[in-house]
């Protein structure tokens, strides 16, 4: 493999104008496709096989048009203290505000507060529902401005008014913090390479690659029904790995140029060696992300495939565009000492003292590192999954204020009602049978109210709305749903009907349950596939096992941080998290896919240099020291860059992106600095030569893949190991 990639690197170096032209054409094509696309959509996540989804499908079948994906908005009005919303003056103010919205070209219906059930018991609060004939992604800024204008008009008349709903949702945009992450990455690259060109090249290639992948996702988002989260995830991951992969190739090119004036051969060896590690590392990321397709959650599968596509583009950029651009400035990427042609002064790094500490007390270091990560992971034991709606928004947002006003006036459960779909087909008296179901719901503890039944045109199916006495994210609401479903067989048998419970709250509960059920099988699948891949790369039994165990430590430690921040509220103010609540259902399983791939990145980059030294005859301990000295600096830089990029996305408005950004930043920190740069050399030292053990029968079965560069031409000169005193 290294030989093939070496030839690819030399070809890209020689035919650099052609390679650059191909990538520019790809970028131009992506731009054209994206501009002609409708872009991401804002649709509710679907999950086949759960009761809530089946009930939604039944509503769509029996109530044509009721389940249409049209946008909606809710305007909440509160009268001044001591007044009723139905007083003459306040009623005129509400009607005038709604009249300004009803005339909009996209508005299909406006239901005022005077409609039944829309005014609180004390008469002080009411809400109006605005329905649109288009999806939320098609609502124009003019329509949103009309909503905001109606709210301001009501406020000018002395009312308190706030709004919420899918019509208010707009696309997620990159903010200052995300751009700050890129700026930090530029500083780290400059400090690592000491050359403006060497620092700028990975940034340039990463931006080109992520532009191609992000625009590609944008182009297919409409036909594939992707949400904006898929594009943001592809952007976040593509930017991080794009910078890192390019940096590894540039760093290896600089090493190969030391004492060698043949820049083309250096580019070939850089792509053949570091490029092999990039290819294998990228493959593990793609395996983990594409594996999300087996979970059975379409929206999650789309996010995983979008992110996997971004990683594939990042790998191709590192293997082709990076050596091509190196051909335009083969000497400018070198340090000043290299350009002068003199010997590079030996600089002491932190690698030597750190290795002396780790290898002198390997068992103590291993136990301390495991204990540290296990302690941080303790909060993950209380992980609660759900969906963070408007309640998780800051109070500066009108959606959050509308949520609070409705909860105060109608009860906390009013923001998350349960929809009960009763199938009375074939029943002699459907109305009586549905009434029996409603009575059963009313007598269940935890149900605040049950609405009148709404029948379809044929009169064989009815919809009831049951309002819980607790909020959507409350554990007691989840318990209520379980009790209602547990009592269902007796009610169905007595009335000869069937009914299902759905609604936003029930759907969130069912999604969380299915996600929890799929988590363990998914982890087993990705770990199994990646262990096999690492077995081929390193021809060792213990290294893949050690890599998988280290990943689990990093994963659960990152989950512990997420639970502590978003569920317990620790340091939540620093991230703008004003309301604690459950962790979003899709976050843990999405985190598994991304973190595992990134963890294997560092494993491959670090251990491949150790394996390379061992393959060239170094004893096990010397190979650890040599590989660590050669790769630790660039691994540290790569980790800092990823932490900066992911940390910037932790400031995003989208709740899922915020959670994933913080979780990835923490996971990269734990995995790079605690697991790979500390536990890996300590455990390898404890194993000694056994670290590279592979049974003979397995050695005959495992294909030989060259990742040490033996097939790239003449072997590289072996570097002198850093003198390290190792206590025996």
Per-residue model confidence as pLDDT tens digits over 465-477: 999 999 888 889 9
Which of 129, 149, 168 is the last residue in one of the domains?
A: 168
Which has the higher per-residue pLDDT, 376 or 512? 376
Q: Are residues 517 and 480 in the same domain?
A: no
Q: Are residues 494 and 608 in the same domain?
A: no
d(CA 508, CA 582): 11
Q: Where are the alpha helices (DSSP H) in 104-195?
A: 141-156, 176-193
pLDDT of residue 581 exceeding 50, the answer is: yes
Q: Going by C-beta distance under 8 Å and a sequence separation of 6 or more, which residues neighbour residue 347?
A: none
Q: Going by C-beta distance under 8 Å and a sequence separation of 6 or more, which residues neighbour residue 264?
A: 10, 13, 14, 327
pLDDT of residue 727 exceeding 50, the answer is: no
Which has the higher per-residue pLDDT, 600 or 627? 627
Contact 217, 226 (CB under 8 A): yes
pLDDT of residue 683 exceeding 90, the answer is: yes
By the 10 Å C-beta count (0-12 exposed, 13-18 middle, 19+ buried), 88 is classed as exposed
Q: Taking Cα atoms as reference points, which of 540, 551, 539, 478 lies closest to residue 509?
A: 478
Classify 446 in phi/psi space as left (phi over 0), alpha (psi -120 to 50) or beta.
Answer: left
393-417 mean pLDDT: 90
Handedness of CA 8, 14, 15, 21 (dihedral sign): positive
CATH at residue 77? 3.30.70.100
Q: Are residues 482 and 522 in the same domain?
A: no
d(CA 343, CA 620): 29
Q: With pLDDT > 90 as the criterion, what percentage of the chain qualifies?
A: 39
Interhelix angle 586-615/504-538, nearest 10 degrees = 10
Q: Are residues 72 and 158 in the same domain?
A: yes
For residue 418, the number of C-alpha atoms closer than 13 Å in the C-beta half-sphere is 33
pLDDT of residue 171 exceeding 50, the answer is: yes
Q: Is 407 part of a structural domain of the chain?
A: no
Question: pLDDT class for 18, splitting at 50, 70, 90?
Answer: very high
Write the DSSP symbol of residue 568: S
617-630 mean pLDDT: 85
Which of 168, 190, 211 is the last residue in one of the domains?
A: 168
Within a 10 A sphere around the Cβ of 467, how many other Cβ atoms?
19
By the 10 Å C-beta count (0-12 exposed, 13-18 middle, 19+ buried), 121 is classed as exposed
Tokens standing for residue 347: 């600089």
Q: Is 409 part of a structural domain of the chain?
A: no
pLDDT of residue 178 exceeding 90, the answer is: no
Phi, psi of 593, rounded to the nearest 5 degrees? -60, -45
By the 10 Å C-beta count (0-12 exposed, 13-18 middle, 19+ buried), 111 is classed as middle
How much is the pLDDT for 696?
86
Give the β-pairing of 461-468 and 454-455.
antiparallel
Which has the higher per-residue pLDDT, 486 or 223? 486
Contact 136, 143 (CB under 8 A): no
562-582 mean pLDDT: 83
Domain enclosing residue 99, as ranges = 67-168
Q: What is the tally of structural domains in the chain?
A: 4
Q: Are residues 145 and 184 in the same domain?
A: no
Q: Is 50 part of a structural domain of the chain?
A: no
How much is the pLDDT for 340?
67
Cα-Cα-Cα-Cα torsion 259, 264, 269, 270, nearest 10 degrees, comes to 90
Q: Is 122 part of a structural domain of the chain?
A: yes
217-254 residue pLDDT tens: 888 887 777 777 788 888 888 888 898 899 989 988 98
Buried b (16+ CB within 10 A) or exposed e, 273-293: bbbbbbbbbbbbbbbbbbbbe
Q: Taking Cα atoms as reference points, which of 645, 641, 632, 571 lies closest to residue 602?
A: 632
Average pLDDT, the chain: 85
Q: Are residues 239 and 368 in the same domain?
A: no
Q: Are residues 362 and 227 in the same domain?
A: no
Q: Are residues 603 and 663 in the same domain?
A: yes
pLDDT of residue 593 exceeding 60, the answer is: yes
How much is the pLDDT for 41?
60
447's enclosing H/E stretch is: strand 447-450
Contact 222, 69 (CB under 8 A): no
Q: Are residues 315 and 199 in the same domain?
A: yes
Contact 34, 219 (CB under 8 A): yes
How much is the pLDDT for 179?
66
Q: Are residues 566 and 637 in the same domain?
A: yes
The total number of residues written for the chain in this structure: 728
Residue with tokens 């002080």: 124
How much is the pLDDT for 350?
67
Which of 17-31, 348-362, 558-572 shows the lowest per-residue confidence on average (mean pLDDT)? Answer: 348-362
Contact 616, 708 (CB under 8 A): yes
pLDDT of residue 448 exceeding 90, the answer is: yes
d(CA 657, CA 638): 21
Highest mean pLDDT among 191-205, 320-334, 527-541: 320-334
How much is the pLDDT for 539?
84
For 129, 551, 593, the CA distances from 649, given in Å and listed in that order, are 34, 22, 18
Q: Is 265 part of a structural domain of the chain?
A: yes
How much is the pLDDT for 712?
56
Buried b (16+ CB within 10 A) or exposed e, 325-363: bbbeebeebbeeebeeeeeeeeeeeebeebbbebbeebe
Which of 128, 151, 168 is the last residue in one of the domains?
A: 168
d(CA 642, CA 625): 25
Specify the 3-state DSSP secondary structure of 27. helix
Q: Are residues 258 and 284 in the same domain?
A: yes
425-436 residue pLDDT tens: 989 899 999 999
373-392 mean pLDDT: 87
Q: Is 86 part of a structural domain of the chain?
A: yes
Which has the higher per-residue pLDDT, 474 or 312? 312
3-state SS of the chain: helix, strand, coil percent to 5? Answer: 65, 10, 25
How much is the pLDDT for 314?
94
Which of 104-108, 315-319, 705-709 shows the lowest per-residue confidence on average (mean pLDDT)? Answer: 705-709
Handedness of CA 76, 654, 42, 64 (dihedral sign): negative
Q: Going by C-beta distance under 8 Å and a sequence separation of 6 or more, which residues neighbour residue 630?
A: 255, 609, 613, 719
CATH at residue 694? 1.20.1640.10
Q: Is 724 part of a structural domain of the chain?
A: no
Q: Is 634 part of a structural domain of the chain?
A: yes
Q: Where are the alpha helices (DSSP H) in 472-569?
A: 475-486, 488-495, 504-538, 542-562
Q: Are residues 570 and 486 in the same domain?
A: no
36-87 residue pLDDT tens: 776 666 555 567 778 888 888 888 888 876 555 578 899 999 999 999 999 9
522-535 mean pLDDT: 83
């Amino acid at each position: 493999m290294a030989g093939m990639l070496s030839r690819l690197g030399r070809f890209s170096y020689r035919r650099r104008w052609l390679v650059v032209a191909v990538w520019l054409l790809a970028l131009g094509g992506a731009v054209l496709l994206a501009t002609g696309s409708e872009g991401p959509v804002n649709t509710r996540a679907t999950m086949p096989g759960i009761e809530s989804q089946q009930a939604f499908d039944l509503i769509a079948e029996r109530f044509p048009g009721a389940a249409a994906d049209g946008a909606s908005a809710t305007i909440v009005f509160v009268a001044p203290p001591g007044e009723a919303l139905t007083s003459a003056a306040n009623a005129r103010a509400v009607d005038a505000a709604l009249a300004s919205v009803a005339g909009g070209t996209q508005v299909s219906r406006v239901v005022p507060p005077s409609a039944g059930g829309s005014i609180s018991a004390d008469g002080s609060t009411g809400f109006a529902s605005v329905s649109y004939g288009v999806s939320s992604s098609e609502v124009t800024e003019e329509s949103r401005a009309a909503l905001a204008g109606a709210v301001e008009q009501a406020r000018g008349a002395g009312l308190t008014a706030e709004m919420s709903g899918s019509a208010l949702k707009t696309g997620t945009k990159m903010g200052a913090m995300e751009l700050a992450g890129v700026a930090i990455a530029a500083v780290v690259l400059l400090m690592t390479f000491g050359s403006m060109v060497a620092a700028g090249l990975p940034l340039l290639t990463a931006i080109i690659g992520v532009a191609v992948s992000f625009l590609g996702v944008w182009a297919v988002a409409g036909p594939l029904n992707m949400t904006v989260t898929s594009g943001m995830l592809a952007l976040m991951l593509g930017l991080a790995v794009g910078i890192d992969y390019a940096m590894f190739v540039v760093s290896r090119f600089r090493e190969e140029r030391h004492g060698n004036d043949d820049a083309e051969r250096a580019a070939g060896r850089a792509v053949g060696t570091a490029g092999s590690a990039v290819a294998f590392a990228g493959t593990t990321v793609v395996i983990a992300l594409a594996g999300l397709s087996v979970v059975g959650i379409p929206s999650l599968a789309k996010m995983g495939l979008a992110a996997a596509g971004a990683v594939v583009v990042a790998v191709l950029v590192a293997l082709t565009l990076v050596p091509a651009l190196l051909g335009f400035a083969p000497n400018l990427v070198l340090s000043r000492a290299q350009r002068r042609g003199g010997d590079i002064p030996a600089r002491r790094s932190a690698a030597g003292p750190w290795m002396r500490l780790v290898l002198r007390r390997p068992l103590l270091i291993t136990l301390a590192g495991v204990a540290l990560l296990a302690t941080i992971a303790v909060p993950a034991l209380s992980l609660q999954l759900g969906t963070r709606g408007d309640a998780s928004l800051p109070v500066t947002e009108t959606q959050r204020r509308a949520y609070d006003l409705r909860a105060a006036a109608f009860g906390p459960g009013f923001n998350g009602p349960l929809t009960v779909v009763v199938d009375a087909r074939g029943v002699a008296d459907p109305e009586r049978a549905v009434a029996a179901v409603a009575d059963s719901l009313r007598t269940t503890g935890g149900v605040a109210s049950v609405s009148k039944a709404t029948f379809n045109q044929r009169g064989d199916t009815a919809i009831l709305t049951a309002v819980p006495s607790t909020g959507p994210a409350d554990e007691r609401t989840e318990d209520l749903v379980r009790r209602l479903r547990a009592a269902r067989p007796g009610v169905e048998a007595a009335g000869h009907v069937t009914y299902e419970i759905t609604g936003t709250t029930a759907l969130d509960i069912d999604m969380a349950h299915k996600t929890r059920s799929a988590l363990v099988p998914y982890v087993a699948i990705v770990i199994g596939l990646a262990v096999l891949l690492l077995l081929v790369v390193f021809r060792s039994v213990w290294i893949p096992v050690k890599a998988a165990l280290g990943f689990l430590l990093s994963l659960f430690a990152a989950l512990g941080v997420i639970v502590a921040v978003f569920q317990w509220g620790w340091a939540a103010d620093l991230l703008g998290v004003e309301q604690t609540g459950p962790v979003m259902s899709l976050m843990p399983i999405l985190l598994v896919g991304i973190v595992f791939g990134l963890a294997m990145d560092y494993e491959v980059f670090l251990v491949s240099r150790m394996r390379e030294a061992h393959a060239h005859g170094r004893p096990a301990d010397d190979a650890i020291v040599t590989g660590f000295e050669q790769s630790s600096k660039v691994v540290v830089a790569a980790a800092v860059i990823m932490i900066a990029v992911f940390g910037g996305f932790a400031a995003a408005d989208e709740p899922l992106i915020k959670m994933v950004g913080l979780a990835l930043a923490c996971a990269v920190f734990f995995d790079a600095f605690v697991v790979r740069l500390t536990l890996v050399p300590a455990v390898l030292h404890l194993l000694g030569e056994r670290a590279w053990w592979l049974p003979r029968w397995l050695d005959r079965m495992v294909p030989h893949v060259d990742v040490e560069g033996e097939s790239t031409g003449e072997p590289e000169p072996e570097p002198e190991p850093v003198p390290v005193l190792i206590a025996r």
